[in-house]
Chain A
Amino acid sequence: MTNLWTDIKNTDLVIIMGGNAAEAHPCGFKWVTEAKQSRGAKLIVVDPRFTRSASVADVYAPIRQGSDIAFLLGMINYMLQNDKIQHEYAKNYTNAAFLVKDGFAYQDGLFSGYDETRRDYNRSTWSYELGDDGFVKVDETLQNPRCVINLLKEHVKIYTPEMVERICGTPKDKFLKIAAMIAETSSPTKTMTSMYALGWTQHSKGSQNIRTMAMLQLLLGNIGVRGGGMNALRGHSNIQGLTDIGLMSDLIPGYLTLPREPEPNFDTYMSTRGFKPQRPGQMSYWQNYKKFFVSFQKSMWGDAATAQNDWAYDYLPKLDVAYDMLRAFELMHQGRMTGYFCQGFNPLLSAPNRKKLTAALSKLKFLVSIDPLQTETARFWQNHGEYNDVDSSKIQTEVFELPSTCFAEDEGALVNSGRWLQWHWAGGTPPGEAKHDTWIMAQLHLRLKALYQKEGGKVPDPIVNLRWAYADPNEPSPEELAREINGSALQTVKDPADPTKNLVEQGKQLASFGLLRDDGTTSAACWIYTGCFTEAGNNMARRDNNDRDDVGLYPNWAFSWPANRRIMYNRCSADPTGKAWDPTRKLIEWDGEKWAGYDVPDIAPNGKPGVMNPFIMTEEGAARLWTRGLMRDGPFPVHYEPFESPIAANPIAPKIRGNPASRVFRGDLEQFGDAKDFPYAATSYRLTEHFHFWTKHVQPNAVMQPEFFVEIGEELAKLKGIKPGGWVRVWSNRGSVKAKAVVTKRIFPIQCDGKPVHIVGIPLHWGFMGVAKKGFGPNSLTPYVGDANSETPEFKAFLVDIEPISGPVA
């Protein structure tokens, strides 16, 4: 979230699209009901199904799954055509006026530089026009046809309300009604908040779904203001923490990137991470990258990371490709990955194409499952009749189940959607032999280290030299780890402006990441978290719920990264001269010398209005309506159909299947289904009664939703002779499931490209372990393809067929 949960109460308009907050985030949803009740805010829900969120919405509009970009580019087109943008904001705070280099072009769904055989782009033309001074050229008059805003106008003009209706199936009158409501928030004194979740991410163009709404929000001036923002609702209490701490194959903590193979030494690595400002006077905060990186290396390897060995740069692996979940299972399937650790992870139900997953796991030599529950993955080898129909005698994988503790049995911080690091304390003692994850990881490390020390090995240093300065080496305490993540001064840090002044004494905790150094004198495991555990104590454990003037920021409750800032880009809440756009929704203002107000300013405290622009993390100083070569699939979003589309062809690019820049493995392409064989558009989702695959182990949750079902509309039920509560079989080109049928008015055919598209809804909470009835999940059916940028699987749009069956024999 750019903003925070409690801030949603400040909004005038909530749009829930790409998510179902009432269903999946009922506790946070209270701030929506609060905004409605106390401010008279309106709620719009756009979804293929009439959801629980829709049940309390002011306006609901249907949309075919996988067509969100068309809808949103249609919105942008509407705003540009009807002059409903916040001009001062867009001109000053985005790259609207920047000039794009000649050579960049877009035609028939593709940008310049596409290579069909590699399914990838040569992105060399995707850059700005540079002046002789080395800075990007801009045209403040916005007249130049190569201005970003003019290219955007051209790019979106095909997305008329009629085209939106044709692609998305959203009736034109509904679309225009919503457009008029959204347009009102282009006023500097009106805001809209966007709440989304996996309904946008789990597509082969997930990143671009989100980006399109971000562009709309920027044009309306709704970023960095109270009651505005792009608010990703995270589906797990600590999934924000997972991303922050860099649990991806290509990241290290704090959104730093792991070296790649073409970067064999530190100098090459740093040569592409200079982040020089592209406009004069801009902060481009990533220029401090080296400080963050060196401090991370010091936290990992302490004294073994020295200036002489380039801060132990060689200890880091050099990636050839990203090892995301899809690639990992592909490699297993090919027999090239032979061992696998699952820590709090149940991929047999959460990765696509279950048949392939079972085959892949069966080829492993060993599988380790570290989990508080007995997961389906840990039991993938066990026959559970039709629910897990495997021949155990043919599977040689050795499985180790290490019972761990659940969130209520340990201490530590969880990072919520609003970037709050909230400390929690153990509420119970672990059952049986269950151990804290920290103990398990420490034991693995100590045993590996002993083996390396005894037997040597190819590269023992990263393991042998790992800094391990914990009171009890067998189990680092959460507090010790938190202090390490925050970081400390390894030597006294002096003020660069006045070397006689000490900023931090040796051995002290750092108060902010502004104190990090690239000379090895500071250590911090995750720079964005610096400030969470300072000399003042554990700031994550703060529980002061005072909120000056009821602004909704609660600055002394827990700790919000970065720097306890509650609303990101909050400089944008003020106009170019530094006065709040909306005096009733003030965040920070320029007082003539510095920025001050309710929140920690997201700008240099003395960053003069008119000189330093608000988006300090970008080299441009501006937000990007056009993203240069930063995304694999294009600087502007384009509507691409899902890989399995119910309509004949993409109306704006008939020759292109799916996202042309998405990676598709050989063998998976052949398994995509076509509408002639699989006529119905399926989507998967969660239900409020359950939490992923955990709560089917819990009696009361199992009572609330006991049994796997699929949802279809009354028309489809009639067409197929399916009875409410009866049994159905649903199948795709990859698998088949049996389920109870819920026949509902909340799902109905959506008219797209001249024909009705029937929707089949498939919730995902059932498996073959736990106390709920045994069942299947949508991943038995879903295609093996992910987002071009993040490799998040396309779980939200695929094709199936359905038929009534007699129930399983008891």
Chain B
Amino acid sequence: MFPPLPNPSVQPVPPKFGEQDLISRSASTITPPAQRQTEVAKLIDTSKCIGCKACQVACLEWNDMHEEVGVNVGVYDNPPDLTPASWTVMRFTEWVNPETKDLEWLIRKDGCMHCEDPGCLKACPAPGAIVQYSNGIVDFVHENCIGCGYCVKGCPFNIPRISKVDHKAYKCSLCSDRVAVGQGPACQKACPTQAIVFGTKDEMKKWADIRIADLKSRGFKNAGLYDPPGVSGTHVMYVLHHADQPEIYAGLPKNPRISPIVDLWKGLTRYAGLTAIAAFAAIGVLHHLVKGPNRVSPEDEQRAKQLAGDRVS
């Protein structure tokens, strides 16, 4: 058993990392700290995952999110895709192993991979909307987000989702608020089988080696770690029974890379974006001068609450 993280102290503790630990900030130039923090990682062991979705519920609850009750679309995946409120979902794949002819039910917890080289951050034109801490966590700062959706295009894993309510991008934060006070992410805390473990990236790699040896002893000769070099490694890693074919796990990219378009257009879009912001601001001022301030009626308020669910109330 991986040694469980101790329970938190009941006394408030200062956060372990913050602004001073940023190593990159979208559409900004910053001076990274002289000393980088120990890199953290979450390890998801698909061979121990039973698809119970406790992680999904823990994510909803810790982050105080309200997801709609959907419908059954013919599979166990619910919600069927990531949403602005569902930052993680289980993806179920029924795969017949061509060698053994046995059915395998591959279950993968999908969500942000916290790339060492984050495509979302690179693509983002809004200053400070996406930040990367020196421990490896890539976080969205919603007050700076302009909802342009470039992060979605920049992400090689198709993770961020734009809210139709507040037009901002959402994704897993690796529970930066919990990690800041010495806790693991909520999903890890809720996982009943230790299919999700959390620690330093080195610890996670060592733990993965033990798991991979066990899987190889059970005949999974291609068992291995998913820590893709195309994005300089990730801070969410997988143990896969068939690491030679990550794509069979509901399309986990075999060799994820940031789209070259991001690098090509990044400079241009950033300036275009800023120009647009300035233009809208000017129009806004003009509108205010001509039409007067906007008034929010109680009906508008009620509708907004309904749309936003619990987040606003």
* Interface, chain A (partner B; CB < 8 A): 22-23, 26-27, 29-30, 33-34, 36-38, 40, 50, 52-56, 58, 60, 688-689, 699-709, 723-726, 740-746, 771-773
Contact = CB atoms under 8 A, between A and B. Distances in A.
Given A29-B193, A40-B217, A704-B57, A52 B71 contact: no
Contacts of B49: 56
B45 to A, nearest CB: 9
B72 A703 contact: no
Q: Which of A22, A40, A706, A726 has the most CB of B within 10 A?
A: A706
B192 interface: yes
B293 to A, nearest CB: 37
A700 B67 contact: yes
B119 interface: no
A53 B52 CA distance: 11
B51 A688 contact: yes
Contacts of A53: 50
Nearest to A56: B50
Contacts of B96: 745
B50 A703 contact: no
Given A40-B217, A688-B50, A706 B74 contact: no
Contacts of A50: 103, 105
A723 B70 CA distance: 19
A34 B192 CA distance: 11
Contacts of A54: 105
A708 B54 CA distance: 20
Contact of B214 (A36, A706, A772): A36
B199 interface: no
Contacts of B78: 689, 703-706
Contacts of A29: 50, 192-193
Interface in B1-53: 1, 47-53
B143 interface: no
B192 to A, nearest CB: 4
B295 to A, nearest CB: 33
B214 A40 contact: yes
A574 to B, nearest CB: 28
Contacts of A26: 50, 52, 54, 192-193
A512 B36 CA distance: 60
Contacts, number: 122
A772 B74 contact: no
Interface residues of B, number: 43
Contacts of B311: none
Q: Which of B66, B70, B211 has the most CB of A within 10 A?
A: B70
Contacts of B126: none
Contacts of B192: 26-27, 29-30
A726 to B, nearest CB: 7
Nearest to B61: A700
A742 B53 contact: no
A703 B103 contact: no
B51 A52 contact: yes
B105 A743 contact: no
Interface string B56-79: 110011000011111111111011
B218 interface: yes
Contacts of B79: 703
Given A706-B69, A709-B74, 14 more contacts: A26-B52, A33-B195, A36-B214, A50-B105, A52-B50, A55-B104, A55-B105, A699-B66, A700-B67, A706-B78, A725-B75, A742-B76, A743-B74, A773-B69
B48 A33 contact: yes
A634 to B, nearest CB: 37
Contacts of A23: 50, 52
A40 B193 CA distance: 16
A702 B54 CA distance: 13
A746 B47 contact: no
A701 B60 CA distance: 11
Nearest to A743: B74
Nearest to B309: A699
B48 A56 contact: yes
A60 B102 CA distance: 9
A526 B235 CA distance: 54
B183 interface: no
A746 B105 contact: yes
Contact of A725 (B1, B50, B73, B194): B73
B108 to A, nearest CB: 12
Nearest to B211: A37
Contacts of A707: 70-72
A54 B106 CA distance: 11
B166 interface: no
Contact of A56 (B47, B56, B73, B102): B47
18 contacts: A23-B50, A29-B192, A30-B192, A33-B48, A50-B103, A55-B104, A56-B47, A56-B48, A688-B51, A688-B53, A699-B66, A699-B67, A701-B57, A703-B68, A726-B74, A745-B103, A746-B94, A746-B103
Given A688-B51, A743-B74, A703 B94 contact: no
A725 B53 contact: no
A740 B72 CA distance: 7
B139 to A, nearest CB: 23
B52 A52 contact: yes
A622 B78 CA distance: 51
Enumerate the 10 nearest inter-chain pairs by beta-carbon distance, A residue then B residue, closest first.
A725-B74, A724-B74, A55-B105, A22-B50, A707-B72, A740-B72, A745-B94, A26-B52, A688-B52, A26-B192
